[in-house]
Structure 1
Amino acid sequence: MRVESQAEPEKSRAPRVALESTVIAHGLPYPHNLRLARRLEARVREVGAEPATIAILHGELRAGLTDAELHHLATASNIRKVSRRDLPIVVAQKGDGATTVASTMFIAHHFGIEVFATGGIGGVHRGAVFDISADLPELARTPVVVVCAGAKAILDLPATLEWLETHGVTVIGYGADEFPAFYSRQSGLPVDVRVDSAAEVAAIVRAKRQLGMQNGLLVCVPVPAAAELPAPVVEPAIEQALREAESRGIRGKALTPFLLARVSELTGEASMRTNLALLENNAYVAAQIALALAIES
């Protein structure tokens, strides 16, 4: 198997920021998904970093895509949603795959990319303590800085934080004392430490390296205030979506996409607008962190 990266870091000293591709292939309809992919890459470049959208094309792991390849992910109907367990299957079958948080972390680390921007991580599902996203164990074993807006609000946030604590994953609040609740800026749940600059995050990453710790680091950035969807507004929609999923027997891989889509419908697509705003903001912050890490590396 040949594994390659489209990006060529030897020709550019700009630090790279990983971006996932599931949001392109499975998160939004065309052409909104392609516009988002281009906008996220542009936000990274605005800061002076280089975007590396992660995917699998023809069985090859890729970190950095051409615009034509982004278009392919946004329009093709045979793009598989790939988590860590799916990687050997898609590679062996020489298929095309869009990466989740877990598989993006794995591939980013493979290519030496330290910082990854996403929307919200997966976690422990409400009412199902044994239904745990593959994102969490990946954070426990892969040394990548994951910049997010907390865990998706459809999840059990206290249980998710307990899991991260048990497995030694440091949770940083970026300009925040509380764990963000994805759509909402606050959850009432404390983070391990608050920082107010990319340089402070970089210092923690360097200390973690010196200690020989090989797990990930979670940097949680609240959604911009202007785009926030307050909990009293979104929580009733989440609860209704959960009831509908239960009544329809929707579980496993299908659950999270169903819940996110249904919450968007129930909120008049306000949740989608919030989601897009936090994705752009997270990409911008991740680029700042990547630059801060590069200064003294």
Structure 2
Amino acid sequence: MDDGRPVVALESTIITHGMPYPQNVATARDVEAVVRGGGAVPATIAVVEGRIKVGLSAEQLDWLGTAQDVLKLSRSDLPYAVSAKRHGSTTVAATMICAHLAGIRVFATGGIGGVHQGFEETMDVSADLDELAQTPVTVICAGAKAILDIPRTLEYLETRGVPVVGYETDVFPAFWSRASTLPVPIRLDGPEAVADLILAKQRLGLKGAVLVANPIPEVDEIPFDEMNRFISTAIQAAKARSISGKAVTPFLLSHIYEITKGRSLSANISLVRNNAALAAHVAAALAQRA
């Protein structure tokens, strides 16, 4: 960063909670290599013994892949992990906070959290959405996780003033699928156009992030209609087992992995790599304009 090189932040929850070992570590290494291949420097973020680490060593990545008692950190519990000297992996919200503290402007992830299904009863909204509204770190993702209420998620982002960009698409992507049924408010083609939007927002003094929705490569997607059937089956299974609260999302993802015979994990790895590549190009475009 002192040399003015582009840097891309990467989350660590995908390592500790998002994928099984050894795919988690292999994917983390692969994603870092993709960022380097795009001309940027990867900075995977985690909390180790209460210290925020922006950029993990190879040894730390290996350790994190099998580490026990690692907290899943968002805005609410990041200060606790630091004060209590705990280990923690960072979600989208916590990664944005740490990246901003370090001066990193671009972050690549898989999919953001959002408004959950059944919001009327649970009031369950991911902290990612409010973080996007207040922290100026551009987030490259493959849309919101498809198990969420995507229409309400987009409505919430609009209310909070977050620009939602479809990258080379007019339709909001749905994580494992290239397209939902919803249009994107803004379409941009090319990393330079994204960089220009980020800088314009900054010059206007507007707080918060730019959210760039980057569709999964077509060869690796699970089509939206097919994926919806898998999600409906998983939701019914969760209800039948009375699974609720924080246990719902891990259960759904695990169940979907089983009923898709691993296709959901392969798609997940593909979209993360794709987002990392775009993030590197956006970070490079921003560095050229500095």
**TM-score, structure 2 length as denominator?**
0.97
Q: Deviations over 1:97-151 (max 9, x none)?
A: 0010110011111111000000000001112242101110110111110000000
The aligned amino acid for 1:162 is E
The aligned amino acid for 1:160 is T
CA contact (8 A) 2:4 2:287 kept: no
Match of 1:15 in 2: 6
Q: Report deviation, 1:245.
A: 1.5
Give the secondary structure class of the aligned counterpart of 1:132: coil
Find the aligned partners of 1:33 and 1:207 in 2 and give their Cα distance. Answer: 36
Q: Report deviation, 1:224.
A: 0.2
Q: Deviations over 1:207-232 (max 9, x none)?
A: 00111011111000000000010022
Find the aligned partners of 1:198 and 1:191 in 2 and give their Cα distance. Answer: 17
Q: Report deviation, 1:253.
A: 2.1
Match of 1:101 in 2: 92
Give the secondary structure class of the aligned counterpart of 1:84: coil
Match of 1:221 in 2: 214
Q: 1:116-135, aligned counterparts within 5 Å? A: 116-129=107-120, 130-135=123-128
Q: Report deviation, 1:236.
A: 1.1
Find the aligned partners of 2:110 and 2:37 in 1 and give their Cα distance. Answer: 19
Q: Report deviation, 1:252.
A: 2.4
Match of 1:49 in 2: 40
Q: Report deviation, 1:256.
A: 1.3
Find the aligned partners of 1:28 and 1:185 in 2 and give their Cα distance. Answer: 21
Q: 1:1-297, aligned counterparts within 5 Å? A: 9-10=1-2, 12-129=3-120, 130-297=123-290
Q: Deviations over 1:46-70 (max 9, x none)?
A: 0110000010011011110100000
Unaligned runs of 5+ in 2: none
Find the aligned partners of 2:196 and 2:154 in 1 and give their Cα distance. Answer: 23
Provide the aligned length of Structure 1 versus Structure 2.
288
Q: RMSD in angstroms over aligned alpha carbons? A: 1.0
Q: Report deviation, 1:15.
A: 1.2
Q: Report deviation, 1:265.
A: 0.8
The aligned amino acid for 2:235 is L
Q: Report deviation, 1:20.
A: 0.3
Unaligned runs of 5+ in 1: 1-8
Find the aligned partners of 1:235 and 1:272 in 2 and give their Cα distance. Answer: 16
CA contact (8 A) 2:111 2:141 kept: yes
The aligned amino acid for 1:95 is R
Structure 1 stretches of 4+ moved >4 Å: none
CA contact (8 A) 2:96 2:107 kept: yes
Q: Report deviation, 1:269.
A: 1.0
Find the aligned partners of 1:250 and 1:133 in 2 and give their Cα distance. Answer: 18
Q: Deviations over 1:174-202 (max 9, x none)?
A: 01001101111111211111111000000
**TM-score, structure 1 length as denominator?**
0.95
Find the aligned partners of 1:273 and 1:138 in 2 and give their Cα distance. Answer: 28
The aligned amino acid for 2:24 is N
Find the aligned partners of 1:272 and 1:214 in 2 and give their Cα distance. Answer: 34
Q: Report deviation, 1:251.
A: 2.3
Find the aligned partners of 2:239 and 2:96 in 1 and give their Cα distance. Answer: 31
Give the secondary structure class of the aligned counterpart of 1:131: coil
Q: Deviations over 1:38-90 (max 9, x none)?
A: 00000000011000001001101111010000011101112111111111111
Q: Report deviation, 1:249.
A: 2.5
Find the aligned partners of 1:116 and 1:250 in 2 and give their Cα distance. Answer: 32
The aligned amino acid for 1:278 is L
Give the secondary structure class of the aligned counterpart of 1:292: helix
Q: Report deviation, 1:240.
A: 1.1
Find the aligned partners of 1:121 and 1:182 in 2 and give their Cα distance. Answer: 9
